[in-house]
């Protein structure tokens, strides 16, 4: 069964460093998403991406964040200068209709 894959599963970084989280969505899907879950809190929407541009973003998704689809298969989330409060599980999702399929997540730890 097709699945969304995310790498790495765990990323440790120093505060102020840039990180790139990677995702390979399901191949025929056209909509892509990033969500995050801070430990003990809700899964929160960050951004959606369609037709090579951001279609919706939350207030969390500020100038520190960017997304890119650099080729036909990858979808990345970049955090330019990480803060302690960026520590969270980051989930990528993709969809063809209104059902979103999620990856296993990347746990980001900012020290």
| Cα–Cα distance, 44 to 34 (Å, whole number) | 9
| Contact between 106 and other proteins per CB under 8 A | no
CA distances from 87 to 10, 40, 78 (A): 11, 12, 14
Q: Beta strand pairing status for 106-110 and 88-95?
A: antiparallel
| Contact between 27 and other proteins per CB under 8 A | no
Compute how many other C-beta atoms are within 10 angstroms of the C-beta atom of residue 92: 28
Of 10-18, 50-58, 59-67, 71-79: span binding other proteins (CB under 8 A): 50-58
CB 78 → other proteins: shortest distance, Å?
20
Applying CB under 8 A, the residues found at the interface with other proteins are 3-4, 6, 31, 33, 35, 41-45, 48, 50, 55-56, 58, 91, 93, 98-105
């Amino acid at each position: 069964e097709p699945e969304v894959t995310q790498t790495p599963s765990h990323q440790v970084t120093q505060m102020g460093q840039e990180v790139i989280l990677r995702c390979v969505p399901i191949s025929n899907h056209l909509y892509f998403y990033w969500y995050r879950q801070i430990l003990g809190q809700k899964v929160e929407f960050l951004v959606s991406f369609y037709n090579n541009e951001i279609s919706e973003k939350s207030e969390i998704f500020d100038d520190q964040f960017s997304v890119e689809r650099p080729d036909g298969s990858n979808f990345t989330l970049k955090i330019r200068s990480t803060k302690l409060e960026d520590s969270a599980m980051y989930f990528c999702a993709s969809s063809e209709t209104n059902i979103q399929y999620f990856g296993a997540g990347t746990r980001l730890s900012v020290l």
